[in-house]
Structure 1
């Protein structure tokens, strides 16, 4: 990229930063340009992206744009705070497009200060059922932007590793994956498969069991303390961080505090009444939970009509 084109790109990103402040989505041509910028960044990132503390990790967001602003007020806006978002940016909330756009613009502006991991909702099949496809169609009048986003989803990293000690993934473990090195060689540039290791990392959940069990989700597994301890020992980890499950208190530690679920969508689906949390790591072994509530209704714009009830 020559100096002029780089300058033009930086000018576009700064313009987008102003645009997204008021829960706006970008014009189609701008969004396509943004996707091109982010694709180039994702291509350079590994399946398991190495991250150094201090860093703050976040769970599911699900299109709750105004609550994401409360998250940033609680944890600090980038680039002052470094973030890892553990997937599920879209679906179910009113503003999936605006939420995702904001995160992508932040990523374009400060690529080393924000890491976006793939969740099970970053897929074609799931977004066609739970709202993001319909939202793109409603706001743009066509599916082009949804296709651009799905292409980006295919390129997102699967996990992040903080200080070589703390693994961040969206869902959980897999009986097919015993080491982080196996995660590093997954072919991630694809729709999330229906079964296998890649699928499990996106869909699995911890449970109070000893070993493995069939998941009621119909994808992934339930995994207990023994496979967790074994995976951590094999990979010399101090903690596994994941999202994927609603936690009423915002955060939940399990297995002698070797695994933590972080949930960052307060009052999920605008009806669950839960608190949300983010987890700030000062070092790999020194972390601080920060809790926040949903923004009051008088501080958010609620659409007058939604086409489909996305709560599940």
Structure 2
């Protein structure tokens, strides 16, 4: 029997220390990145195309190299392993810190494999990352070498294409495909390759919902499709689902609800590209007991924090769900003002490490932010 190779926990904690305890964060050496990617690839070989996950879980949309805003997400939702996270893809490109962002997520996935889950977006592609920033950033930060880009883009070929939550919710990066009516068709795909130009795999990462149509329509993006109400109703009926959650589209308020919550878009990159001025969100799914506002085991910590009925009406979500809305981190704002494209913000501040848990220690020193927009 083959025993998968695992990096010692102490080594993973050291990687987290380098990324989390320094300003600017220290990028990991190419040899370390290679080892991390190789180890994660061996583990992902046994992961199905659609991961079966359970609530409670926090769902995160596009990050696009906005490293400091990723740290904001962990302040808001809680640091792994105290919170389960599903990331919906588009970890790199556009922002100034794609290397640090994907390095942190890979390390967290290895350190907390049952708490952190990653799926593939349209930017997890060799072609896209060559044109939208990640490739150039790697060359800049690794003295002209593209090795780290090769290690990470090879890893992208192994990422799952979607997830189900409680067997009732389907999560993917983009949307639906006219070539796919059953989840089993996605489960049967050969995902271990570059994203093709068309077909089910391409549509999953490129398609978008459109409230103006009922069926499918070619997407103005040049890949994937627009899909309407009839499409998602049929897909949910055929697969015993109640909802689809996806990312892929910039939302000024951080989220969009379509068709009374039948489809949700979660966007997690505030002030996108350091100039759009948009808010961002994390979708928190506490339970999928849609016949009741709350359950004793999954929502007891939240009973005094929000009124489920008001949230459902205001945000267009299902019971047990809410969008936790946030704005850009101060470091994001500083990058915006200075137009920086360098690694970090040149601060000497470091955070204490408590009990040897570098990740939780980083956030233990910072007050947990309370974003109250969703309370109203």
Match of 2:10 in 1: 11
* Aligned residue number for residue 290 of structure 1: 324
Distance 2:275 2:339 in 1: 17
Task: Choose which of 218, 223, 235 in structure 2 pairs with 1:214.
Answer: 218
- Determine the C-alpha separation between the residues in 1 that align with 2:191 and 2:323: 31
Task: Report if the CA contact (8 A) 1:66-1:300 is conserved.
Answer: no
How far 1:282 moved relative to its partner? Answer: 0.8
Matched, 1:249 2:253: yes
Deviation at 1:9, TM superposition (A): 2.1
User: Which one of 28, 33, 41 corresponds to residue 30 of structure 2?
Assistant: 28
Give yes or no for the alignment of 1:239 onto 2:238: no
- Give the 3-state SS of the residue equivalent to 2:28 in structure 1: coil
CA apart distance, 1:289: 1.4
Q: In the alignment, does 2:274 pair up with 1:270?
A: yes
Q: What is the alpha-carbon distance in structure 1 between the residues aligned to residue 329 and residue 169 of structure 2?
A: 31
TM-score (norm 2): 0.78
Contact 2:216 2:227 in 1 (8 A): yes
- Contiguous gaps of at least 5 residues in structure 2: 291-319, 343-376
Residues 83 and 115 of structure 2 are in contact (CA less than 8 Å); yes or no, is this contact kept in structure 1?
yes
Aligned to 2:175: 172
Supply the distance in 2 between the matched residues of 1:177 and 1:264 (Cα, whole angstroms): 27
Select between 22-31 and 144-153 the one with higher mean Cα deviation: 22-31
Q: 1:137 to 1:298 in 2, by over 3 A?
A: closer
Give the 3-state SS of the residue equivalent to 1:291 in structure 2.
strand
User: 2:92 touches 2:101 (CA, 8 Å); kept in 1?
Assistant: yes
**Structure 1 CA distance for aligned equivalents of residues 334 and 16 of structure 2:** 19
Shift of residue 10, structure 1, vs aligned partner: 1.9
- Match in the other structure for 1:202: 205
How far is the alpha carbon of 1:33 from its aligned partner?
A: 1.0
RMSD of Structure 2 on Structure 1 (CA): 2.0
Give SS of 2:8's match: helix
Residue in 2 aligned with 1:149? 152
Aligned counterpart for 2:114 among listed residues 112, 115, 122: 112
SS of aligned partner of 1:70: helix
In structure 2, the partner of 1:223 is 227
The structure number with the bigger radius of gyration is 2
Higher strand share: 1
SS at match of 2:89: coil
Counterpart CA distance in 2 for 1:250 and 1:90 is 19
- Residues matched between the structures, number: 305
Once the two structures are superposed, what CA deviation does each residue of 1:78-116 show, in whole Å capped at 9, x if it has no partner? 100000000000000000010001111100100110110
Q: Which stretches in structure 1 are left out of the alignment for 5+ residues?
A: 308-312
Equivalent position of 2:104 in the other structure: 102
**Aligned mates of 2:340, 2:271 — CA distance in 1:** 19
User: How far did residue 304 of structure 1 move?
Assistant: 6.5
Please state how far the C-alpha of 1:210 moved relative to its aligned partner: 1.0
Kept in 2: contact 1:207–1:223 (CA 8 A): yes
Contact 1:173 1:204 in 2 (8 A): yes
| Residue matched to 2:190 | 187
Give, in whole Å, the separation in 1 of the partners of 2:287 and 2:123. 30
Change in 2 beyond 3 A, CA 1:297/1:104:
closer
User: Residues of 2 paired with 1:177 and 1:149: CA distance?
Assistant: 29
Q: TM-score, normalised by structure 1?
A: 0.93
User: Which position in structure 2 is the counterpart of 1:310?
Assistant: none
Deviations 1:17-62 (A, max 9, x none): 1111033220111111111121122112110001011101010000
Alpha-carbon distance between aligned partners in 1 of 2:230 and 2:339, rounded to the nearest angstrom: 49
